[in-house]
Structure formats: C-alpha cells, structure tokens
Amino acid sequence: MDCKLFMVKVSYEQKPFRREVMRTYGASVTPSPSETTEVGKKILAEHPGTNGSLGCAISEAVEVAVSTPGYRYVLGSVLNQVLLHQSIIGLETKAAFDKIGVKPDMIIGCAGGGSNLGGLIAPFMGEKLRGENDYEIVAVEPASCPSFTRGVYAYDFADTGMVCPLAKMYTLGSDFIPSPNHAGGLRYHGMSPILSELYDQGLMRAVTATQTEVFEAAETFARCEGILPAPESSHAIKAAIDEALKCKETGEEKTILFGLTGTGYFDLYAYQKFNDGEMDDYIPTDEELAKYREKLPKID
C-alpha cells in the first residue's frame, strides 16, 4: 500500500528517527510545508523559511488525498471522531482506578489539538456532566502556543491552508505558526471543539508551561521513575509536579492522575539541547496574537 506522509518540518528535522520508523514501514515522508503541493507553495510564499505546523501538514495532506485516485485522509487529531477513538485511553484508566477502589481528584493532560487530553478525560467528564462524580480537570499547553489561555472562542479553519471546514473552537488563528519548540504534537493553532465547549462552560481549566520548565520536569521524572517521557506528555508531568508541591505545602491530600503517552527516545535531540543549556523559551506577544485574530473568518 502506498502511504504518503507530511511531517511538520521542524519535527522532520528534530526527530529524524521518528521519521525513519515511518519510512521503514513503507511510507514516504515529506517535510511540511513543501514545494510538492499548491497549498504548500502558498504557505511558503506567505511565510518564507517557516518551520511549519500541524495546520500546514493537514492542508498538504488533504490536497494530496483529494487529488490522488484511491487516496483517503482522516484528520488524526482535534475532531470529534478522534476523541471518541482516543477515549479507549480514558476507559482503560478508569477501569484500573475502579479495580483498586481509588477515585482521582485531579486529572491532568497535555493539550495541543485535544485528542490526548480528550481521550483521557472522556469517561470521567461523563460522570462529571451527569453529576455522578466531580473531578478537577486541567489542560496543559505550551506557552508558545496557548490556544486555551490566550485564544478566542470562534469559528476558524482547522488548517493553515483553509481547505478544511470551519469549526468552533478556541483558536489563535489558522494562520498562526508557533515557534519551533520540541513538543511537535502540541504545535497547533486551535483546540478540539468538544474540549473548547467544556472549557467555555468552566468544566475544566487550562495552564501553560514554557519549554525549559517542561524539560526540567521531564528530567526529574526520568531520574525518579526510570522512564524518559516525550516532550508532549511532559507538559502534564510539569503540572502534576506543581500540584503535588502545592499539596505538600498545604498538607492537603489529592490523588492526581496525569497522562503519560509516548517515550522520549525519539526526542534525544531535544534532550541534548536542554542538557547543553541551549534551549530557549519563546512566548508570543499580545500584539503578535492580535495580528492573527484579525484574520479570523467573519461569520454573520
């Protein structure tokens, strides 16, 4: 089976071994945005030298899928059917808690497009909505790509090339391309419509973490647990450590559940940057974000 993948350019460069795993299984992998599609050329013309984003890769993949006979494309994050698929994570987690008779007080997950967090919290949020149990739910996003905490709740395109349907979500603007941080899976301009609605209703809260803080937490976790975590889920680790330290100060007891997905062994370039003291933290300014908000679709 012919499989063509568009990988966010910065991830293509920073995570070469992840790329090689896909090639080993027969996929061709192209850094996005690329000169191989019309939408890629357009994005490069508007953003020369860009490191890309998930939104760019989605646009290119859609163009190839609709223009190549026999090809199909299903968005792998953000949309409702993805969260439904990912809910297996939350169902298995809840079954484990039920088996040992423990109820988590707080549930923490990293948030980029929302599939990771949405899948983890699904059964717990169901109980919360039905009034059967209460949980404090926390989304952790990169300070460099703060869709929840600094975005607006509006209709926007799911991709940078604006070829996908509009969705109502917390967004920084589909034209926003984040700085090249190492948590490639969280570099997305918007947030899942389901999670956006829950956040808008006050059923969950969101916090941000800088890249250096995240890797400091990952290092602590690795040295304590013997597991090298992926940069994406290390955002959840950072928030979990913060909450545990708060409990230590107040004397309060809490059962804290956080999502740990993936390993960091494909991200050793990022760990090298951190260990060498070469990692930086870019946080967009209010003026920069306002520029992208101005380009949101005008809905009457």
Q: What is the pLDDT of residue 1?
A: 57
Residue written as token pair 């013309």: 45
What would the pLDDT profile of 116-157 be if each residue is shown by its tens digit?
A: 999 999 999 999 999 999 999 999 999 999 999 999 999 999
Q: Set out the domains of the chain in order of their start, with CATH numbers.
A: 3-67 (3.40.50.1100), 80-275 (3.40.50.1100)
Beta bridge partners of 166: 157
Instruction: Please report which residue ranges of the chain form alpha helices under DSSP H.
Output: 9-14, 16-24, 38-46, 54-67, 80-100, 115-129, 147-150, 193-200, 211-225, 231-250, 268-275, 286-293
Q: For residue 219, count other CB atoms closer than 10 A to its CB.
A: 16
Beta bridge partners of 170: 153
Max Cα distance, the chain (Å):
62
Low pLDDT (below 50) residues in the chain: none
Q: For residue 16, count other CB atoms closer than 10 A to its CB.
A: 11
Residue written as token pair 């450590």: 241
d(CA 10, CA 16): 10
Nearest residue to 228 (alpha-carbon basis) of 238, 243, 218: 218
Structure pTM?
0.93
Q: What is the pLDDT of residue 39?
A: 94
Helix axes 211-225, 231-250, angle to 10 degrees: 80
Pairing of strands 152-157, 166-171: antiparallel
